[in-house]
C-alpha cells in the first residue's frame, strides 16, 4: 500500500508504480486511484488479496489488511447518515472518516493500516497494536506513505543510507513507538495513531486510543467475568477464522485456549477439523512439548502437523536485512519464515497464534503495592490470606509490601547489579555504561502508585519493529497471521477489570486458568513444568557467520570492543548472553555491508 500527496502539483502515477514495484513480494496486480494532488495504490498477488482501494469519490482510501467488524461498522455508519458506497472494507473506511473524522480508526477492529484523502489532505492510520506497518516521509516536494521503508525511499527518489542512531537503538534498546526506520529519512507511524499531512511545514500525529483510561473501570461479579470472557474470546476467534486456518500450537496455556474456541467454530463453518502446525524438538527433551501438543490435538480433534525446525537465527542474514529494510532485534526471522512457509505448503492461508496473551491477561507484579498505596485494605487482606493458604512465606509477602517503600531508580539500580542474570548479563566485550543507559527494570521506575498500572499497559508501548517483520514474513509466504488474544474488545475487557479480580493471587494467569477450567484438559491447566528454550537457542550459535560479520567490520559501533569480541568468537565459548548480543550486532553489520 502506498500514497503520494504532491505539495504543489498532482502526484506522478509512474512514481507510485515504482513504489509498489520496490516491494515485489506484495504482488504485481496493481490498482491505483487518483484524486486531486494525491495518488493511492495497492499491489496484490493474484491468489492472495490482502489490500484494497475504495470506489472513486470525493474521498478515497487505500487499506492494507481488513476490518473484522466491517458489517457492524457499515450498519453504524449508515444509521449515522453516512452510507458507504459498498460493503467493501475500503469504502467503509471512507464512510467512517466522513462520520467520525481522524478518530474513525478507534471504531475499527482487526489488523490494518490505511490512508484516506480528499486530494488535498492525507490521513494515515495504523491499527491499535501496530500489526500492520506504515512508514512515511514529508519533504518539500511531497508527502509519501507506504507499507515498507524501501517503498518510501523509491517514492522520495533518494538514495538509501543507514540511520546510525537507529542502529544503536536496535543494539542497546530504548526504541520508542515513533523511532524512525533504519533507512535514513524514513519515519515510522506509531500504533493507534492518525497522522494528518496537508502540505503544511509539519505533519500532525494524533493518538486515537487511550487504554489507560480503561484501567479498573468495570464493576463486574465473578459470574459476569466468566460470561464476558467466553463471549469475547469466542468473538475474537470467530473474527480471525477464514476457513483455511491453522493454529500455531504449543504445549502451554495460550495457543491451546485459542484452539479450544477455534476448533468447534471451524468445524461448524467448514465441516472439516481445523489444522495445527507445531515445532517439535525430539533431540532437545527440555524444549520438546510434543506430548502436550498431541494431548490438545487429540482432545479437540485437530489435524496436527509437526516439524523439526531447520532454520537458524542468522540464516541469510544479509538478504533478510535487505528485504526488511534494516536489522530486526529479538525475533528469529528465518524461523518465522520457515513456519509460515510450511503452513502455506500445507494449504493453509491463515495462521492463528496465542501470542499477546501475557500482555492481555496482565501481570500480578506490583499488585500488593498497588492495593497498599490505594488503601484497598480488604482486597489486600484477601490477597495475603490467599497467598498464605498457597504456602507463600511471610518473608516473601513482606518483600512484596516493602517494595512500595523502595524508590524506583534504586530498585532499577539494584536489579541491574544484583538481579538473577547480573553476573553475566553484559558480556565482557560490551561497555556496561552503554548497556545500562537503558533501564533494566523499567517497570520499577514509575512512582509506586502507578507501577501496577504501568505493567498492565506494557503491550501498547515501544516500537513495533518485530511485528512489522512478522507481517512481512507472512506476506512473503502468502498467508495472514491473526492473534485473537490481541482483539481490542477482549483486551479492553481485561484492562477494565479491578486489580484484585484480574489477579486473584500472585501467580501468572490465575484468573484465566480458572475461566478455562472445563474447556482445556487439566493436564494443560495444572502443568507446572516450564519449557525453557535455552538449549534450542544455544544450538543455533553459528560462529562462522559471527566471524564473517564481526571479525573485522568496516563500520564500528560505539561501546563494542571488537578485538575482545573476535577473541571470544575464536574461543567458541559463548554464553547465552554473548549469543543474544552478538546476534543483534551481526544483523546490524550485515545491514551495513550494503554501504
Q: Which domains does the chain have, with CATH numbers?
A: 2-209 (3.60.20.10), 210-308+349-406+448-531 (3.40.50.620), 535-592 (no CATH)
Q: pLDDT tens digits for 557-566?
A: 999 999 999 9
Per-residue pLDDT at 531? 87
HSE-up of 268 (CA within 13 Å, CB side)?
A: 7
Pairing of strands 275-279, 204-207: unpaired
SS3 136: strand
pLDDT tier, 414 (very low <50, low <70, confident <90, very high otherwise): low
What is the structure's pLDDT at 83? 97
pTM equals 0.94
pLDDT score for 441: 58
14-68, pLDDT tens digit by residue? 999 999 999 999 999 999 999 999 999 999 999 899 999 999 999 999 999 999 9
Rounded mean pLDDT of 578-585? 97
pLDDT at residue number 2:
98
Q: Which residue has the higher pLDDT, 544 or 396?
A: 544
Whether 74 has a pLDDT exceeding 60, the answer reads yes
pLDDT of residue 459: 84
Strand partners, 163: none
CB-side neighbour CA atoms (13 Å) of 119: 11
Beta bridge partners of 52: 63
- Above 60 in pLDDT, residue 316? yes
Of the pLDDT bands very low, low, confident and very high (cuts 50, 70, 90), residue 189 is very high
Which triple of cell numbers denotes residue 20?
Answer: 509498489
pLDDT at 412: 59
Beta carbons within 8 Å of 510's beta carbon, 6+ residues apart: 364, 503, 504
Average pLDDT over residues 568-585: 96
What would the pLDDT profile of 363-391 be if each residue is shown by its tens digit?
Answer: 999 999 999 999 999 999 999 999 999 99
∠208-66-272 over CA atoms, to 5°?
135
Ramachandran area for residue 191 (φ above 0: left; ψ -120 to 50: alpha; else beta): beta
Copy the grid coordinates of residue 28: 504485481
User: Residue 423: what pLDDT?
Assistant: 63
Whole-number pLDDT of residue 443: 64
Provide the H-helix boundaries in 101-163. 149-156
Amino acid at each position: 500500500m502506498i500514497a503520494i500527496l504532491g505539495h504543489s502539483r498532482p502526484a506522478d502515477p509512474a512514481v507510485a508504480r515504482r513504489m509498489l514495484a520496490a516491494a515485489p513480494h506484495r504482488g504485481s496486480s496493481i490498482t491505483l486511484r487518483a484524486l486531486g494532488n494525491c495518488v493511492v495504490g495497492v499491489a496484490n498477488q493474484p491468489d492472495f488479496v490482502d489490500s484494497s482501494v475504495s470506489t472513486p469519490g470525493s474521498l478515497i482510501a487505500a487499506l492494507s489488511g481488513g476490518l473484522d467488524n466491517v458489517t457492524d461498522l457499515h450498519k453504524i455508519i449508515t444509521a449515522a447518515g453516512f452510507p458507504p458506497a459498498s460493503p467493501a472494507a475500503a469504502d467503509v473506511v471512507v464512510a467512517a472518516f466522513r462520520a467520525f473524522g481522524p478518530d474513525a480508526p478507534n471504531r475499527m477492529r482487526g489488523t490494518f493500516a490505511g490512508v484516506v484523502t480528499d486530494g488535498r489532505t492525507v490521513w494515515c492510520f495504523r491499527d491499535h497494536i501496530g500489526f500492520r506497518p506504515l512508514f512515511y516521509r514529508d519533504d518539500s516536494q511531497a508527502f509519501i506513505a507506504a507499507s515498507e521503508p524501501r517503498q518510501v525511499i523509491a517514492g522520495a527518489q533518494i538514495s538509501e543510507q543507514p540511520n546510525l542512531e537507529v542502529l544503536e537503538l536496535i543494539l542497546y534498546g530504548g526504541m520508542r513507538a515513533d523511532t524512525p526506520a533504519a533507512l535514513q529519512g524514513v519515519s515510522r507511524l506509531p500504533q493507534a495513531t492518525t497522522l494528518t499531512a496537508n502540505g503544511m511545514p509539519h505533519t500532525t500525529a494524533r493518538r486515537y486510543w487511550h487504554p489507560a483510561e480503561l484501567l479498573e473501570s468495570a464493576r463486574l461479579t465473578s459470574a459476569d467475568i466468566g460470561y464476558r470472557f467466553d463471549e469475547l474470546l469466542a468473538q475474537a476467534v470467530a473474527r480471525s477464522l477464514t476457513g483455511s486456518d491453522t493454529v500455531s500450537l504449543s504445549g502451554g496455556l495460550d495457543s491451546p485456549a485459542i484452539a479450544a474456541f477455534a476448533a468447534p467454530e471451524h468445524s461448524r463453518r467448514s465441516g472439516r477439523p481445523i489444522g495445527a502446525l507445531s515445532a517439535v524438538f525430539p533431540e532437545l527433551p527440555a524444549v520438546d512439548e510434543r506430548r502436550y501438543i498431541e494431548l490438545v490435538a487429540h482432545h479437540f480433534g485437530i489435524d496436527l502437523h509437526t516439524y523439526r525446525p531447520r532454520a537458524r537465527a542468522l540464516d541469510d542474514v544479509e538478504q533478510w536485512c535487505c528485504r526488511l529494510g534494516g536489522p530486526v532485534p529479538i525475533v528469529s526471522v528465518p524461523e518465522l519464515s520457515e513456519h509460515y512457509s510450511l503452513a502455506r505448503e500445507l494449504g493453509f492461508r491463515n495462521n492463528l497464534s496465542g501470542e499477546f496473551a501475557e500482555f492481555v491477561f496482565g501481570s500480578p507484579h506490583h499488585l500488593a503495592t498497588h492495593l497498599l498505596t490505594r488503601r484497598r485494605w480488604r482486597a489486600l487482606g484477601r490477597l495475603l490470606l490467599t497467598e498464605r493458604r498457597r504456602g507463600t512465606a511471610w518473608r516473601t509477602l513482606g518483600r512484596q509490601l516493602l517494595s512500595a517503600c523502595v524508590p524506583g531508580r534504586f530498585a532499577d539500580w539494584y536489579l541491574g547489579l544484583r538481579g538473577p542474570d547480573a553476573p553475566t548479563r553484559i558480556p565482557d566485550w560490551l561497555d556496561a555504561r552503554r548497556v545500562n543507559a537503558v533501564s533494566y527494570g523499567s517497570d520499577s521506575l514509575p512512582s509506586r502508585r502507578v507501577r501496577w498500572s504501568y505493567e498492565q499497559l506494557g503491550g501498547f508501548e515501544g516500537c513495533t519493529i518485530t511485528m512489522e517483520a512478522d507481517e512481512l514474513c507472512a506476506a512473503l509466504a502468502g498467508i495472514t497471521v491473526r492473534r485473537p488474544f490481541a482483539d481490542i474488545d477482549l483486551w479492553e475487557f481485561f484492562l477494565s477489570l479491578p486489580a484484585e479480580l484480574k489477579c486473584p493471587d500472585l501467580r501468572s494467569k490465575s484468573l484465566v486458568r480458572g475461566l478455562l477450567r472445563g474447556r482445556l484438559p487439566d493436564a494443560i491447566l495444572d502443568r507446572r513444568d516450564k519449557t525453557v528454550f535455552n538449549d534450542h537457542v544455544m544450538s543455533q550459535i553459528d560462529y562462522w557467520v559471527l566471524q564473517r560479520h564481526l571479525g573485522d567490520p568496516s563500520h564500528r559501533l560505539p561501546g563494542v570492543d571488537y578485538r575482545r569480541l573476535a577473541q571470544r568468537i575464536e574461543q567458541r565459548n559463548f554464553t547465552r548472553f554473548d549469543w543474544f548480543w552478538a546476534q543483534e550486532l551481526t544483523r546490524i553489520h550485515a545491514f551495513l555491508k550494503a554501504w
